[in-house]
Amino acid sequence: MQLYDSAMAPNPRRVRIFLAEKGITVPVVPMDIGKAENRKPPFLAKNPLGGLPVLELDDGTCIAESVAICRYFEETQPQPPLLGTSATDRALVEMWQRRMELELFRNVTGCFQNTHAFFKGRISQVPEYGEVCRNAARARLAWLDGELASRPFVAGERYTIADITALCAIDFGRVSDIRIAPEQKHLQRWYDAVSSRPSAKA
């Protein structure tokens, strides 16, 4: 198998951290998103939507979408569990992963895509919407700070995929001036803990 990857983009990092936490090594094919290599053939045969990362299995099956790739590795190597354990826990991890993705990650990337020069000419930018995203992402950080007052990790007592999504969102937010505020002590404590894990370098 091999993983089509990009060192620049936030979604591929989610999978790299997930793999590092599992202790799994996968051969990587670096793609140049600056040259839109992922938006042209032959890559479009692997993912017609052009997104990265993509995991190509030995039989040629291509799995796109970061969380779907994580699901594949959770199924094939369950330890350590990063997507939950019991039925209730798996549902709660999925809830928190989705909240981190839809409420935080998507606002961070929505701000970047609609305000940053990188996306000029690549998509129909709407700067006003980018500002809505920036404000929403900042509001979600304040909310997350309150949530983290009562538990060590986003989804509870254990490190999960929800922490990975939140970490990648927050690190990618810096370029759009979306940052942990000085008074957000719980969020900062959590951030220091998850970003000092060896996997965060992935």
d(CA 101, CA 3): 21
Nearer to its own copies, 114 or 184 (CB): 114
Q: Does residue 28 sit in helix, strand or coil?
A: strand
Q: Which stretch in 36-44, 98-106, 169-177, 190-198 sits in contact with its own copies by CB under 8 A?
A: 98-106
In angstroms, give the least distance from the CB of 178 to its own copies.
16
x/- letters, 26..65, toward its own copies (CB under 8 A): ----------------------xx-------x---x-xxx
Residue 128 engages its own copies in binding (rule: CB under 8 A): yes
Q: Is 90 exposed, middle or buried (0-12, 13-18, 19+ CB in 10 A)?
A: middle
In angstroms, give the least distance from the CB of 165 to its own copies.
13
* Number of residues counted as binding its own copies (CB under 8 A): 34
Element (H, E) at 110: helix 106-115
CB 58 within 8 A of CB 2: no
Cα dist from 189 to 10, 71, 121, 171, whole Å: 22, 28, 39, 15
Binding-site ranges for its own copies (CB under 8 A) = 48-49, 57, 61, 63-65, 67-69, 71-72, 75-76, 86-88, 90-92, 94-95, 98-99, 103, 114, 124, 126, 128-129, 132, 135, 143, 147
